[in-house]
Structure 1
Amino acid sequence: MASVDKPTPTTHDQQDTDADVKTVTEAALFEAFGGVRGMVETVLPGLLFVSIYTINKDLHLSAIAALAVALVLVAVRLVRKDTVKHAFSGVFGVAFGVVFAMMTGNAKDFYLPGMLYTLGLALAYIVTTLAGVPLIGLMLGPVFKENLSWRTRNPGRKKAYAKASWAWGLILLAKCAILFPLYWWADTTQLGWVLVALKIPPFLLAVYLTWVFLAKAPPPIDVFAEMEAEERAEEARKQAAEREA
């Protein structure tokens, strides 16, 4: 028999709770990975580079245009006082590609730093998961205000982070398995268009799988709220001791 002091949650209440968890997870992922605007900022410089190079085969013009648009995207965010981390990462990626291509004189090398970064990131996801500290948990822990509490206090959430990190690692490895052979065998325009085409779909797949795993996981432990509660309790104890003194 159900206790009268603790009503049994209804199916409707559970559905509302699940919907809230999914909404919070979706919002956190949107913030962490930059959303639609972040995707545009990721794709646009490379798209401009390959478009110009396809038309006139001018490495210098293509590289300068790609770097210029990346800088403009950062400037727009600065003017609007928006978060600039995604735009800045794009600038650094484009800048490395421009410098590398200019040094070697090979237009394909514009893409090489980004490809190496993707490979390194894929390995980081896999290695950290094997080590018991999945990278996606390190990235999203602060976003969910749980920091590293999932490692020792929330095993279900740690398992979800591990699954998500495996998904990211394997998806990025599959992307590398397509791009690196093209780097050796295809020409610059073929590599560039394939790379642009592979910018968004693998990313969306990885984000979607992360959302699925985390939406089904236990809710995060808000360590910031715990610390604030502890501080209030400590202050109350001090005030009580002062009154008794």
Structure 2
Amino acid sequence: MSDESRSDDLQPPAAAGSPDPARNSASDLLGAALGDAAKRAGLDPASDASTGHVVWRAMGGWRGILEAVLPGVVFILVWTLTYDPGTKQANLPLSLGLSVGLAAVFTIIRLIQHGPAGAAIGGLIATAAAAALALFTGRGQDNFLWGFATNIAYGSAFLVSALIGWSLIGLAVGFLMSEGTAWRRDKRKRRVFFWLAIAWAGLFALRLLIQLPLYFAGDVAALGTVKLIMGLPLFAPLVAVTWLAVRALYPPAPK
């Protein structure tokens, strides 16, 4: 069976018939939200930017990388340095306090400089909530539960969107390229957006597959280290692949 026929099998019946106004309205709103977020991150196919520049902007530059990595590094270092092999315990309050405190410092700096602080504030709230849960249970591995929840949510969203024929990638790109959902009438675009959504779902699934056994084993240091390794180092290449695939579908107009 060809890729085209497999992709066609995955399209909902409405794709072949008359458009559903309610569905189109919902897809337009979702596409606008996703497209706006992608544009703010520098992922605009209409822009004449290099792949490296796009990936760098998507990661937030040096500041974004530091904000994403340093709190986790601090948590792992303090946990490891205070870990007692005899009791199999570490100074959990200190590890969490320094990690959350560093995230708070990054957020305050953004607010003082009047920079885009929405993502930083959201990340700080998530970090603080995860730390509060870990303090409540007294188990360091519970500091990673929020990350598992977000991976499940994002992975499920990408997977479901691909399987029902409304790829989140396609919705975002459709908004950015001012074509709405017209991409669904193009078999090549539908196929590319389907596999891109599957690839993103696979990334989130892979994180869970590798990290959950470490969580249940209670290996906090290894879990934190693996989470960092499977964060930006895997995110960046997939952003690059997504960008190159989309640019192949929408080549920039000749100057």
TM-score normalised according to structure 1 size: 0.70
> Counterpart of 2:225?
193
Structure 2 vs 1, CA of residues 187 and 152 (structure 1 numbering), >3 Å: closer, same or farther?
closer
CA 1:42/1:150 → structure 2, altered by over 3 Å: closer, same or farther?
Answer: farther
| Stretches of structure 2 lacking an aligned partner (at least 5 in a row) | 1-44, 83-89
Mapped contact 1:100–1:109 kept (Cα < 8 A)? yes
- Corresponding residue for residue 73 of structure 1: 106
Residue aligning to 1:55:
81
Whose helix proportion is higher, 1 or 2?
Answer: 1
C-alpha deviation, 1:138, in angstroms:
4.0
- The letter for the 1-side match of 2:221 is T
Whether the 8 Å CA contact 2:59–2:236 is kept in 1: the answer is: no
Checking the alignment, whether the CA contact within 8 Å between 1:25 and 1:214 is kept in structure 2 is: no
Q: Is 1:97–1:109's contact at 8 Å kept on the other side of the alignment?
A: yes
Equivalences, count: 201
Name the aligned partner's letter for residue 177 of structure 1: L
How much does 1:124 deviate? Answer: 1.0
2:97 aligned residue (56, 60, 64): 64
In the alignment, structure 1 residue 136 sits paired with structure 2 residue 169? yes
In the alignment, the residues of structure 1 paired with residue 189 and residue 53 of structure 2 have an alpha-carbon distance, to the nearest angstrom, of 17
1:130/1:98 CA distance change after superposition, 3 Å? same
Q: Any idea what the Cα deviations from partners look like across 1:45-93, whole Å, max 9, x if unmatched?
A: 1111111111112111111111111111111112222212331232122
Greater relative contact order (CA < 8 Å, ≥ 6 in sequence)? 2
Indicate the percent of aligned positions where both proteins have the same amino acid: 28
- Distance (Å, rounded) in 2 between the aligned partners of 1:201 and 1:141: 28
Q: Distance in 2 between matches of 1:49 and 1:138?
A: 37
Q: Which runs of 5+ in 1 are unaligned?
A: 1-18, 221-245
- Tell me what 1:112 maps to: 145
Is residue 34–residue 86 contact of structure 1 (8 Å, CA) maintained in 2? Answer: no
**RMSD of the TM alignment (CA)?**
2.8
Residues 150, 158 of structure 1: 8 Å contact kept: no
Q: Distance in 1 between matches of 2:159 and 2:130?
A: 25
Letter in 2 for 1:23: A
| Letter paired with 2:200 | W
**1:140 CA drift (Å):** 5.3
Distance 1:140 1:63, change over 3 A: farther
